[in-house]
Chains A and B, each alone.
Chain A
Amino acid sequence: MSDAPADRTDSGTAAGKAEGAGFLDRYTTRALVAGVTVAAVVALLIAGLLFPDSIAGTLSDALTSRNTLAAALRLSVPIAFAALGGIFAEKSGVINIGLEGLLIISAFSAIYVADLTGGVWVGFAGGVVASTLLAALFAVVTIGFRADQIIAGLAVWLIALGLAPFASQVIYGSPNTPTVATSPSITVPVLADIPFFGALFSASPSVYMLFAAVFGSWYVFERTAFGRWIRASGENPKALDTAGVSVTRVRYAAVLISGVLAGMGGAALSLDLGQFTGNGPTMVNGKGFIAIVAYLFGNYNPVGAFLSTMLFAGLDAVQTVLQLQGIGIPRQLIRITPFVVVILVLALVGRTRLPEAAGEHYETEE
């Protein structure tokens, strides 16, 4: 495994340098985007402080409102969980574009099981199981039968997009389920009273689970042998194979983990509201695709993915607050801002360096 990077520096003199420069280039664009965002927010806050009656004042009020942070955290949960799942799969070399489908199927199953058993946490587990099963199907199709990952991922999305409203219609007679009980939020005394940041300490259990998952994923990738295997499986599967670790098994494990994580996100999404709505693009409504952009922008780093999710979700939260205050931007246009931002981010950051072997089938050599 260790001679792989050495090999690359040997062979690629000019090409290697060009790639390095390109990477640096992209890296600085990324930093630039982040920097500009922070600068814009700071400028807005100062302007708001100076002219509290202007639109900047309203905006900075919205930004510093504790409700905004609480809403951003809540909106982050499904996207960030799916993004973490996407990191696991893609780092191992399997591009999982079906995250949207995993979110949909788990969102529905969680409500169904919760309704059946009366237990919110049983429902949560049900959602995770459903998503993991669908991810297992995806794994068999792409790893076992070497199907094209993008097309198979698209199929996973479309199957879930049909199956969840179909099941809801069969069971409840409508694409929307009835409402079930939700779990109360957990409040840490004293800390929850801090202005703005208090929202971090008075949130639904899924928010805390997300924090744990972000840290856990980071720990797995940075500190464990399994994390190194996943990376090797995506960057240099041959080396991993030579080292005696089965690439196929590592990839199966990674895709299943992506199913578990996306399942947690989908279950949290629907159980937070106590209902699954399955009309049109369903309640998931593109969150799985935004998750993909979030981890690309976060450069496959769990913490980075979480922060970029917070950026998208924060935007969404600010627009909700603004809507409530009746700012004169039409609702339909505000709603598409996250999608526009995603395109702008992609256009500025351009291609993130995918794992070397992502999208390729790996054939074990005996």
Chain B
Amino acid sequence: MSAADRARDALSRLVDASATERILISTAALVLSVLIGAVLVLVAGRMTTCTAGEAVYYFGTGFCYDPVVVFDRLFLGALGDPFSGSWSPNGQFAVTLRESTLLLFTGLSVALAFRAGIFNIGTQGQMVVGALATALGVLWASSLVSGTLGTVVLIPFGLLVGAVFGGLYGAVPGLLKAYADANEVITTIMLNFIATGVALYLVSGIFKDPNSAANQTVPLPEFAQFPALLFGGRQDFSIVALLFGLLAVGALYYVLEHTAFGYDVRTSGVQPEAAEYGGVDAKRTVVASLTLSGALGGIAGAMYVMMVLGTFQTGIPAYGFDGITVSILAGNNPLGVGIAALLFGVLKSGTTVVQFATDVPPQLVGVLRGLIILFVAMPEFFRLLARGLPGAGSKPKAVATDGGTDGDRGGEADE
């Protein structure tokens, strides 16, 4: 048995957990991460200095940062303060939906590869490539059409360009894995660095906007960007993009669960030997799923260019890495990605609210992201917690046979 097969085995163990159990584990992981984050905020509040008036007091000790305020801003602030009476669709809530839309695509990208037993850490790079290709392709095409017709033609065109180039960039680690046996975890990480470097070179050189100090391409005309419907244009969010994202969720779910290709992908992910025995072309499945995964990453890049920035700028935020968290949190299920993306959209958008409202450094959310992944990766921890038994001496068999009931008990322990 090769190492790759074992890695797939490990992944399948994660997938094996029942749906209820997965939801409970993800919720528990989230709650626990927030609690640890709160402790971190308190500790950080002790390490920095502030005036006595600014400090808050817990347990008779003064802290410079208040975790209650931090998490209030993080969650309620991100939703645009629904209880304050001044909620408007044009406020922070639109930002949250914008972030969620992008995370939908990067999350689906990672989830698809995961289901095939492939760890695509390269969604970030594929997004960068897709974004740059879209920015240049649409800019070129925007000289040919204009007006409403332009919007109708250019947006699908831009998404297609992003998908094709992201897909091609995703095919590289796929080919390397299938035909040269190169570990995709390493190659995709390296390809991220390469994509960022080459994009910086191109955008600071030949494709640079001569009228801008920043490293960016010439901005796209207004008609080549996603139209702002219902939500106003101030927050760079378009409901059209979100609907397209939800469509992608449904489509990927259908492809995975109800098509022959989806069957190939799922069986190669869970039981690679059995899949090959059953006639699945393993190499082709690897290349195909990484290409499709890259295409989804590329679409995220296209969305970022055509909805958010209106141009390609170096330093694309880490949506690709957040996509890993979204996918793991969702148990690599496309429908779960929908919920996890919304949740993570809240975290991302709340970060800026926290930054405005408090002095707590925004990197806190980065730590939370790591903690969530860590906890979701260890279902065993929550099973033990639920059982109330300290010490790790359990047999894997016992876990498998009464896993369902354990999950149920876990729910009670959480409340």
Contacts and interface: CB of A to CB of B under 8 A. Distances in A.
Which of the listed residues A145, A161, A163, A296 has the most CB atoms from chain B within 10 Å of its own CB? A145
Interface string B164-196: 000000000000100011110111011101100
Interface string B125-163: 000000000000000000000000000000000000000
Given A152-B378, A161-B370, A350 B181 contact: yes
B361 interface: yes
Contact of A141 (B7, B119, B374): B374
B32 interface: no
Contact of A336 (B181, B185, B197, B328): B197
Contacts of B228: none
Interface residues of A, number: 53
B72 interface: no
Given A145-B381, A150-B185, A346-B186, A335 B6 contact: no
A165 B380 contact: no
Interface stretch (A37-45, A58-66, A208-216, A357-365): A357-365
Interface string B210-243: 0000000000000000000000000000000000
B258 interface: no
A231 B7 CA distance: 20
A12 to B, nearest CB: 12
Contact of A145 (B185, B373, B380): B380
B194 A336 contact: yes
A166 interface: yes
Interface string B385-415: 0000000100110000000000000000000
Contacts of B367: 159, 162-163, 166
Given A145-B380, A332-B200, A154 B7 contact: no
A360 to B, nearest CB: 6
A359 B121 contact: no
Interface of B: 2-4, 6-7, 9-11, 13-14, 40, 44, 47-48, 119, 121, 176, 180-183, 185-187, 189-191, 193-194, 197-198, 200-201, 204-205, 315, 321, 324-325, 328, 361, 363-371, 373-374, 376-378, 380-381, 384, 392, 395-396
15 contacts: A147-B377, A151-B377, A161-B366, A163-B363, A165-B363, A170-B361, A286-B193, A332-B197, A336-B193, A339-B197, A340-B194, A346-B182, A346-B183, A358-B6, A359-B7
Give 6 nearest A-B pairs by CB, closest first. A162-B366, A159-B370, A158-B370, A169-B361, A336-B197, A155-B374
Interface of A: 97, 141, 144-152, 154-163, 165-167, 169-171, 175, 280, 286, 289, 292-293, 296, 330, 332-333, 335-336, 339-340, 342-343, 346-348, 350-351, 354, 358-360, 363
